[in-house]
Structure 1
Amino acid sequence: MKFKNVKNIWLLGLILLLLNACSLTQTYKTSEQTLGERSILKQVKKRGWLNCGVNGNIPGFSYVQLKDFDVTKIDNDPNIPNNIYEQIQSSVVGFDVDICRAIAAAIFDDPNAVKYRFLDTKERFEEISSRKIDVLSRNTTWTIERDVSINIEFAPIVFYDEQSILVRENSEVRSLNDLNGKVICVETETTSQKNLEDERKKRNLTFQIRELQDKKDVYRLYEAGECQAVTSDRSQLDVNRNLLENPDEHLILRETLSKEPLAPVVIDSDSQWVNIVRWIIFALIEAEELGINQNNLEQKKASKDPKIIRFLGLEGTADSIGSRLGLEPDYAQRIIRHVGNYGEIYERNLGPNSSTRIRRGLNNLWNNQEEPGLIYSPPFR
């Protein structure tokens, strides 16, 4: 094709540029629409509740307050009658559960806008990766393998734990070395299992590792004498020892096999949702640092302290911490009003007046005068 003059060439070029610009604009709009549709916050708001994955069988952390009820028997069955399902959902309590309730409170101003799924060690990552749940709050250890090998993101650490061993007090076992040639029960798909394998290689021991999918089987076989020891997070050993027939006949060894930082988990493909969950958890911690709790919240709203004014969203400007997250300016107030601060959650579920009673220790605030811990929030500014 020959062009009679230069003007024709410029005209054709301009037409091509305009067509390309239209195509790019349409592609951008389509991508923007797709991202909007996949926004977890928008999906949660549209749905009207938060989907939260928990264990459901660990008193103090997450369990159903129904007598003689075992969540493993329902297997998240969608055919459960509505009245039974609602009864189960309204009876779930615990430290991990309150993390989910805090997220619901921040979004909906309603801590009960949550539906819980009871997940075992294998299901938990499958459920979060497939977006069947919005957040996993289930005694999960933050490790590099999980962080980089699965499409998940860890929220801030909410409980600093350590791995230990449960044995019978009359067994004279006082170290892992004393279990050479014995059988140790452990939940499969856990860091406890892998740490135990590492210790066996490092110490050149010959104990047998009995891997079990169901935590209840671990303690059932231990109590029946088929395992001479159980290894897990110290907090879980503490809780489950109290569920044995004669708790005083069992001992948790002082020996520590590993550090176990426990944190909630979200999918890593939605940065806004990652930030929301992250800063809701930090808000629980910051509230305790600032001395704001359920009882004095209204009083603290009259404070002249810029930190408190900013934290509670009382600045009266459009550019609040909450708005930057996609939440309401008073999102921190909602959390404290309905759920309390980190310390209140801990005391309610694990404190000395609870049925579980786990010493706070490392889970004290970093500036605790008597026993400084590791719980710490970045600045809210």
Structure 2
Amino acid sequence: MFIRLLRGSVVVITLLASACAGVASPPSVGSPSPVPASTPDVTPSVVDVTPSVVVVQPTSTPVAKPTVRPDLSGDIVIDGSSTVYPITELAMQQFAEIAPNVRIQLGVSGTGGGFKKFCAGITDISDASRPIKPDESEICRANGIEFVEIPVAFDGISVIVNPENRWVQCMTVDELKQMWAPDSEGKVVTWKQIRAEWPDQPFKLYAPGIDSGTHDYFTAAIVGKEDASRNDYIGSEDDYILMQRVIEEKNGIAYVGFAYYQEYTDKVGVVAIDAGNGCVSPSIETITNGTYTPLARPLFIYVRNDRLDRPEVEAFVTFYLENAADLVQAARYIPLPPRVYELVGQRVAKRTTGSVFSEGIQVGVSIETLLMLEDK
């Protein structure tokens, strides 16, 4: 199970060799309690919390162990998406086995917050649940920062409801838009206003905060304009808080990354989406074959081009890509097709900089098509 992240929290993974005798485990400072798999423990009134730091020892996960590289050392700083965090966390844990002298610091401040740090020169790698925006790219360029864009996985944003909610089995894109559009704020407040046969009870909205790439992608895909959303909802960059709010609130509804829904399938209901071809629920099959639309999306990491000159960064990125399919599956997301990983590997080898998503979020556009066009 994933470690629960609070907004602004930082995970520092000290990569120590298991063969080093006599080295004591570092103390944990202000460690937040992990979210148990059976009973949520987040108090409903908590929305924002004081940042904390936790030191995590690398754990063993099932992957073939390559040759240990004690010659690699240095620090790698990563920040960004809470959606991509579980994949990167697993990559760090496994990389610990081959690079025990590399120290990796992982922060979670949302995709937008991560790009702010990345383009300011604070981080080496940025996790992102949407493509970098043109204005963010311009800030990077102005600061002399070139980057390599690396797609790593597929996700399907999942709309979840309380398990006692028996009436919302499927929603059309138009119904979701009516619920979340900016002009619905203070006006559309009950289930009955969305569909006449639903209860005349107020719904409670929960969603990722404005620094979240999930927020950006959902609003672009559903409302039709990025960041266009009503504001009378409870937001958090911590997907676990959103999950647990919905579990505790009968009339709650939220949208989260597929992996978080997968972790709580026995505690929440998922809403099928009708984009015009019938109701389709998020699953590995529907996200992979493209029928779960318009909420299927790619996930990324962005790496500073100059940082790839550092052996420890180049080795970590190579390890990440070589093991991407296994890492992604272990984190409950969907791997990209082998051909896409091949094209991405070529992109890194050639140090191809910039984004193939020149206009930012492009709903329904194939990554493979964009990469193949770029390769010609």
TM tier, smaller: 0.3 to 0.5
Ranked by relative contact order (alpha carbons within 8 Å, sequence separation 6 or more), the top structure is: 2
Relative to the length of structure 2, the TM-score reads 0.47
Larger-Rg structure: 1
